[in-house]
Structure 1
Amino acid sequence: MKIIIAGAGEVGFHLAKLLSYESQEITLIDTDRESLTYADTHLDIKVLKGDATSIAILKDARVEDSDLVIGVTAAETTNITFCAIAKQLGAKRTIARISNTEFITNKDEVGFTRFGIDELISPESLAASEIELLLNQSAFKDSYEFENGALTMVSLSLSRTASFVGKTVKEAAQLFSEFHFVPIAIQRFGTQYTIIPRGDTEFREGDNVVFITSKGGGNELCKMTGRTNDPIKDVMILGGSKIGYKTSRDLSKNHFNVKLIEKNKDVAFDLADRLDKVLVINGDGRNVELLDEENVNHMDAFIAVTGNSETNIMSCLVAKSKGVKKTIALVENMDYFELSQSIGIDTLINKKLLAANNIFRYIRRGEVIAMTKLNNMNAELLEFKVKRSSLVCNKKIKDIDFPRSAIIGGVIRGTEGFIALGDFKIQEGDYMVVCCLPKSIKEVEKLFL
């Protein structure tokens, strides 16, 4: 697949890096020579210095042969213009990164496809949505919804008191006559090795386990692991960034009590004018005395989304020491994900990863509705739509020749999600959620063509 990316910043470089691992033909365009030089020396890609909206530059990149063009520069107007021109010059699919979420809300009304833009993404909006989902699933470290919650991915670390530690997957399933969850990936404590579980796979203390749950499955998991999905009402947010603003706005609309701390006085006053249901405080959130004055110990959740990863991590650790149940930190360095469990923060989120996940589904074969890479695991979670021509159509689960390094997490039919076992028959129009290691992705894709 030939892919052109405009913007060699954080998101663009990360995308180019991930896509180059997949042996895709990547061309990266940017005006900044230093960013391009770094990308050129670290990745197996082609780089072009110049304005992404230049027709000459696009022709030099052979845009007429491109399967996908992605505009992820810092300027949304550049991204929109780049995609519109690329489409007119023959690009098959276009994706533009934007910061104005009104564009996404009103994309059908405005008709962006008429301009030549197939998809709009906002990393800040994706991060805000991820945070709200994590607050609604407070017992778990990570969460991802398919089809408005018909199926949900959740992850947690197993403590010694979890009722199925020491039991196999098959034995754990027998603890419930009707269970609404299935494990799809396991990472052993202290390792970077991802296991796709089978019936004889044993759960061990310290395992980081990813589950797919249908309705009721989250409560069953809480009961079996000794956790409580406590309702979260009072939230403190550190940082009035775009993510801080969007998260505060969305949470306050959904009846959360929100305090937002912003260091910059002018920004704080502006946020106070725009967020009438949020208490905005002008102060340095790194100041422990300020946090104490604002009753951080009475908060149900603390979310740090400043532009500094270290500030976010340290302030979350302070909040945790004050008894806050749920802490979420925005980080830029992907290496921090490996440390999240050991340093004591509940969840780390990363804009680059969220944006890449959202874009990655367009390079997969078959009709991929959604996908996410599992945090700190070498596995992907994909939602495929079953077509009449798909090899899985009209087959029972047990009769599908599925690779050992992949597993079916569940099936969505209509609006209902199912944990599909051996005798479940797949039908045209079903949505199947599949977890697979990189080596089995191509084999899985063939089943859904």
Structure 2
Amino acid sequence: MRVIVVGAGQVGSNIAASLDDEHNVVVVDTDPDRVESITYSHDVLAIQGDGTAIGTLEEAGIEGADLVIASTDVDETNIVVCGAAKAVAEPFTIARVTKTNLLRTWEQSEGAFGVDFMVCTDLQTAETIVRIAGLPGAHDVEAFAGDLVRMAEFQVEPDSPIAGDTVSEADRFESLTFAALLRDDDIVVPRGETVIEAGDAVVVIGSGESVRAFAGSLTAEPSLEDANEIVILGGTEIGYQTARLFEAEGLEPRLVERDRERARELAEKLPGTLVLQSDATDIDFLVREHVDESDIVVAAVEGDEKNLLLSLLAKRIGVERTIGIVEAGEYVDLFETVGIDVGVNPRLVTAEEITRFTRKRQTENVAMLESDRAEVLEIEVDSESVLAGARIRDAMADLPDGIVIGAITRDEELITPRGETVVESGDHVVVFADTMVIEEATSAL
């Protein structure tokens, strides 16, 4: 498939990195430094030029393009890119936007702007925050098979109850599969005797109840259902969307916004949220308003340094869990080390959602882990699959290393896979896969 990515910033670069192994990728950007950088770092054709110009798109091969992804930092530019592409060819177009009103307009007008699929960064980030908040201790959470199956990633801290355990000792939960251990730059496919080490990221797949029970065994943090107090610091669009989504879950969060007019506007838009007008960095205010008793604090102001500061303040006064926005993707790991329990990078979230959508055209659903080091796929088994009619133990011999069958659903029932389990045509399987073997695995499955 020929893919044209317009915009070589963090979003575009991540998308290109995710697609260049399997597709013919062309990246367009106006910045010569970005063009030179991506030329040497990725297996793509990089072109310096204006992606809204027909001439540039023709140079990029628009007539033979299957997919155009507009991922610059300017909403209007991305929309124009899609419209220009549709004017001269018939590719599938994807636009990244930050303004939610553009997304709503597109949703209500089929084919509006010449965009076939639109991703809203602020909304996508808020959805990610709420999803992570729903499972204590989790750094990533995804649902599969109509929510029958959950995938979650947990970081193993030195004081974790499973640090030093074998997988057999840690696996005390029904309907749960230990899919992988992400250890430094390695992906370890766990066996019963595999020892879980501090610093590992553990990926589990199973029923929602088993995944929640496993999460509960790792941390005393409350789940979203048990959270009595959720505080959002910052009335940015991400903060607003996060509060709105918490309201949709039946919760009543509090939101702190410094600007009086913005606070009044949010109070009108969020009937289930208590909006407080104050400076979120005022520790006396935080204590006076009992923010220290909160179960979850979301830091969503403008500026990474402020979000780190707010998270540190929240932890200092006794907040159990903090989730913070980190605009600079390279700082996520650092911020999680020094003060934020979970850092969410909007650009990376957007890149993953766009890449996920391109992969979903071949699979039922897909989630990416650790910046696309691995994927979890949902695939419907057909008669040509190596799994059809075979025991998992036997079928694995025909699959590359780095593949784990995490769950099976059949007639809307969950089946926990074991070596003797026979997979039937029509089953949905949820599979963990090392990115290096994705193409080979999907072809066989």
Would you call these one fold, judging by a TM-score over 0.5? yes
1:199 aligns with 2:196: no
1:28 corresponds to 2:27: yes
1:152 aligns with 2:145: no
The reply to whether residue 357 of structure 1 matches residue 352 of structure 2 is: yes
Q: Residues 326-345 of structure 1 correspond to what in structure 2 (within 5 A)?
A: 326-339=321-334, 342-345=337-340
Relative to structure 1, the CA distance from residue 55 to residue 417 in structure 2 (aligned partners, 3 Å threshold; closer, same or farther) is farther
Amino acid at match of 2:5: I
CA distance in 2 between partners of 1:406 and 1:305 (Å): 37
Structure-2 residue corresponding to 1:370:
365
The change in CA–CA distance for 1:50 and 1:160 in structure 2 (over 3 A counts) is: closer
Rounded to whole Å, the distance in 2 between the matches of 1:289 and 1:338 is: 29
The AA in structure 1 aligned to 2:235 is G
Question: C-alpha distance in 1, partners of 2:412/2:202?
Answer: 26
- Which residue does the alignment assign to 1:86? 85
- Corresponding residue of 2:6: 6
Relative distance call for 1:365 and 1:14 in structure 2 (3 A) is: closer
Q: Deviations over 1:202-241 (max 9, x none)?
A: 2345543121121320343146446454411322112222
Hey, what does 2:68 align to over in structure 1?
Answer: 69
Seen in structure 2, the aligned counterparts of structure 1 residues 413 and 108 have a Cα distance that, compared at 3 Å, is: farther
| Structure 1 alignment gaps of length 5 or more | none
Distance 1:326 1:357 in 2: 24
* Paired position in structure 2 for 1:390: 385
Percent pairwise identity: 29
Determine the structure 1 residue equivalent to 2:136: 138
Aligned pairs, how many? 441
Report the secondary structure of 1:216's partner residue: helix
Q: CA–CA distance in 1 between the matches of 2:380 and 2:92?
A: 19
The 3 A distance-change label for structure 1 pair 106 and 223 is same
- Using the TM superposition, give the Cα deviation of residue 348 of structure 1 relative to its aligned residue in structure 2, in angstroms: 1.4
Corresponding residue for 2:400? 403
Which residue is equivalent to 2:309? 314
Q: CA deviation at 1:422?
A: 2.1
Instruction: Give the Cα–Cα distance (whole angstroms) in 2 for the partners of residues 150 and 278 of structure 1.
Output: 30
Query: Structure 2: how far apart are the matches of 1:290 and 1:162?
Result: 33
Q: Could you tell me how far 1:70 is from its partner in structure 2?
A: 0.4
Corresponding letter in the other structure for 2:205? I
Matched AA of 1:2: R
Residue 97 (structure 1) aligns with: 96
Contact residue 18 and residue 372 of structure 2 kept, 8 A: no
CA-CA distance at 1:104 after TM superposition: 5.6
Aligned CA distance change for structure 1 residues 105 and 201 (closer, same or farther; 3 Å)? farther
State the one-letter code of the partner of 1:257.
Answer: E
Residue in 1 that maps onto 2:435: 438
1:36-51 map, 5 Å:
36=35, 39=38, 43=42, 45-51=44-50
Greater mean alpha carbon deviation, residues 393-402 or residues 83-92: 83-92
Aligned counterpart, 1:208:
201
CA distance in 2, matches of 1:146, 1:186: 20
Question: 2: CA distance between counterparts of 1:389 and 1:116?
Answer: 37
For normalisation by structure 1, the TM-score amounts to 0.85
2:177 aligned counterpart, secondary structure: strand
Q: Distance between the aligned counterparts of 2:388 and 2:86, measured in 1?
A: 34
Q: Structure 2 length as normaliser, TM-score?
A: 0.86
